[in-house]
Structures are given as C-alpha cells and as structure tokens.
Amino acid sequence: MTGGGRRLHLNAFIQGVGHHEAAWRHPETDPARLTDVRYFQEVARLAERGALDSVFFADALSLTEDIRYQPIRRPEPLTLLAAIAVATERIGLIATASTTYSEPYNLARQFASVDHISGGRAGWNIVTSSATGAAANFGFDEQPAHHDRYVRADEFVDVVTKLWDSWEDDAIVGDRDAGVYADPDKVHAIEHEGPLLRVRGPLNVPRSPQGWPVLVQAGSSEDGRDFAARHAEAIFTAQQDLDQALAFAADVRRRAAAIGRDPGHLRILPGLSPVIGDTEAVALARKEELDALAVPEYGLLTLRRLAGVDLSGVPLDDPVPPGLLNGDAVETSKSRRALVADIVRRERPTVRGLLRRLAGARGHKVIAGTPEQIADHIQTWFEAGAADGFNIMAPYLPGGLELFIDHVVPELRRRGLFRTGYTGSTLREHYGLPRPESRYASRATAAR
C-alpha cells in the first residue's frame, strides 16, 4: 500500500435510490423498491463485490415535510442490517441510532445481536438527532439543546459499552457433563448510576464477536469533534476543501491524543459523491441531467432543515443574502450550517446556484469526472493525510455505485491504494482497529 503503509478504506453510504435529491426521478432508478429488502441486499452485495469495508444506513425519526417531493427514504436500519447480514459474507454493516431518543439497554442489545448475526460486522453510527420533528414523536414538546444532547450522548455511550463488556469473553463454559453453562463470576452487573441514566445490567446477550461493534460518528461541530475524540473509531464528515479537510483531521486527532487515545485508531472518511463517465464531458452531462431534475421547492426545504436558513422569500436567480447565515442555529446541524455559510462566502451563488450546489449530496464533495479523475482526488486527499478513506455516496443507485465498483476501484488497485480482496472477516479487521478488552475482565484479573 502507498501512503506510508496505510490502507485506504471505503464505505458505501446507501440512501434510498441515491444521494442526489432527484435520484428517484432518474430513469435508471426504481423508488418502488425502497421497501423491498432484496433491493438493499443486492446493493450491499454489489459493494461486497468491490471488497469495500462497509455499507452504511442513516436514519430519521420523523417524516419530514418534503414527502411531497421525495419517496420515503428507508426502512428502520437495524432491522435492515439483520436482513443484509444473512445475504452477505464479509462486508461491514453500519447503522445510525440516536442517543437522544433511545434507551441504552435496548440499543446495546440490538447492536450486539446484529454483531452475532453477522459474525462480527456491525457498526453503530452515533447521532444525537438534530431533526426538530423527532421530539413530538417521543413525547417531548421540543428538541433538547445541542450541548445537552451531547452530554446525554457521552453518558449513553459509556453505558452501552459497559453493557457490551458485561460478559467476559470466556464467560460461557458450556460444560454439559457438569451442567454448567456460564461462569456467573464473569458476567457483571454494571450498576451504572449517572446524572441522566440508571442501568443495572448485565446485558442479556453474551459478548459479541467484535467485543464492541465499531463506533462511528458524523458530527463536526465543536461538541461533535470533542465527542468524536472521546469515542469515535470512524468519523464520517463533510469536507469541501483539502486544506479544511487537513485541518479537521489534525484537530480531531489532536483532541484524541490530548485525552490519551491513540490517534492512529481513528479512521476519518469524508463524504464523496462521484458522478462517473468515460470522459469528463460525459460525467458533466450526467451531473447536469440529474441537476435538471431537481425541484427547487424541495431544495429550499432541505436547506432550511440542513442549515436553519429560509430562502423561500428570495427570488431563485438573486444572490444569496450572506447576512441570512450570520449567527448560529443551535438546534440544526451546526457543522453543516457552517459548511453552507462557507460556500456562500467563497462562491457567492444565487439561490438557484446554491440549491444545485447542495442537490448532489447535501454539502458533501461532488466530483464529476472519469474514473482516473475520481481516483486522483481520492489519492491526493489520502496521501496528504486529509482522509483515511471515503464515504462513497453514489448519486443514483444501484448504477452509480456499480460504476464506482467496476471502474474506480480497479484504478485504485492499480495504484496500490486499495485491497484486492478481504483479508479479515470482521469490520474491525477491515478498518484495522483493535478489539477492546472487557473492562470487567481486566478488573477481575487485577483482583485475583
């Protein structure tokens, strides 16, 4: 491998029939299949054919007002992962779950179960849920404040990992002759009593193949970066510029090192939406075809949800008033609002131009080009240290991902950047991450 012996990591972010907001209108997609588990199994197998590290499914806990312009996006992702696990063999399986609107015992049990079902391929994308519509679905009058959500998330992750540790690896004896199934001294009540959560434990699922499913995080605000430094093993992030991506990676690694974590155990994967053609002109035409299908009304709703900015009163062909992005919208995604504000400052787009700019991947990097040009971008960022890999966001599915697997992945292999096949069987092995030891096992050993 190039890049000082580092290994490039690739995750396929599977969202609906593609990440471009007009993907469902594209002639090569079929939105009627979005409740057909066979569709998602087929896309996951496609990613596995390319030996990608993992597939990822995001989640939302409310039906947003854009349903007029978009098909319902996805089934519940943990249920979906279980179905995909039995249809695949090696690829990692990552799902989003909220710390704001879940309970740690149930969530620990669900992810441990998926890790068992898949033979050690599960990952948890930890979110605090920024969508304001979710609160009313869970009996709350309003969304908790941004900082408060991260305070709960810190304690929540602590409880979940304690529960995953509550069974030592060798707790199951399985001695039929003696009639002893498990050693109770190696199954531990966690007795957690914190400011927000109280959980006795132990978990009623034995320790899973990975010890812990891989911990993933996607927030890039100040709170999000601190949280990632404390907990994340893989980080999904939206970065438009190489220098900013370098600064983000250095900052998160510095924060991790400052609290005693090994920064080499972080995998930073910026989002990348590749629009691929045999020539650059073909790729640009394909992107223009998708952009032309976008509905401005939907783009305005997305911008309001994404960045807390309402441009519905501004004519589409007028410049975006920069003052509208001043200040802070605490209950929206703070990092994505900052990204949109940066685009407006640097590019000074019209409203229509900004909507098109975001239509491809909601602020993630979009590149239209040949397989070689896509590989050039990946190699440049990887070798510079701005990324350990990429969160691949195909503009339309399954065709956009198939082009990436069949044309970009071989090019990356020719350059010595990406694996030719799987060498491990767990998600931790794919990402080159250590398997955590049960904290209770280490305490018990010290006591003996």
CA distance 406 to 86: 24
Task: Evaluate if residue 3 carries a pLDDT over 50.
Answer: no
- Summarize pLDDT for 61-76 with one digit per residue, the tens: 888 767 888 887 678 9
Q: Give residue 90's Cα distance to chain centre.
A: 18
Q: Are 76 and 147 in contact (CB under 8 A)?
A: no
Q: Which residues pair with 267 in a beta bridge?
A: 234
- Summarize pLDDT for 252-305 with one digit per residue, the tens: 999 999 999 999 999 999 999 999 999 999 999 999 999 999 999 989 988 888
pLDDT for 265 equals 96
Between these two residues, 312 and 109, which has the higher pLDDT value?
109
Residue whose C-alpha is closest to residue 94's, from 153, 134, 161, 44 = 44
- The whole-chain average pLDDT of the chain stands at 92
- Summarize pLDDT for 80-106 with one digit per residue, the tens: 999 999 999 999 999 999 999 999 999
List the Cα angle 333/336/339 in 5-degree steps: 150
- The answer to pTM > 0.85 is yes
Q: Are 316 and 401 in contact (CB under 8 A)?
A: no
Tokens of 310: 């309402």
Query: Region 379-403: what's the mean pLDDT?
Result: 98
pLDDT for 4 equals 53
CA distance 228 to 216: 8
Q: How many CB atoms lie within 10 A of CB 396?
A: 24
- Summarize pLDDT for 315-368 with one digit per residue, the tens: 999 999 877 666 554 445 667 778 888 888 888 999 998 888 888 888 899 999
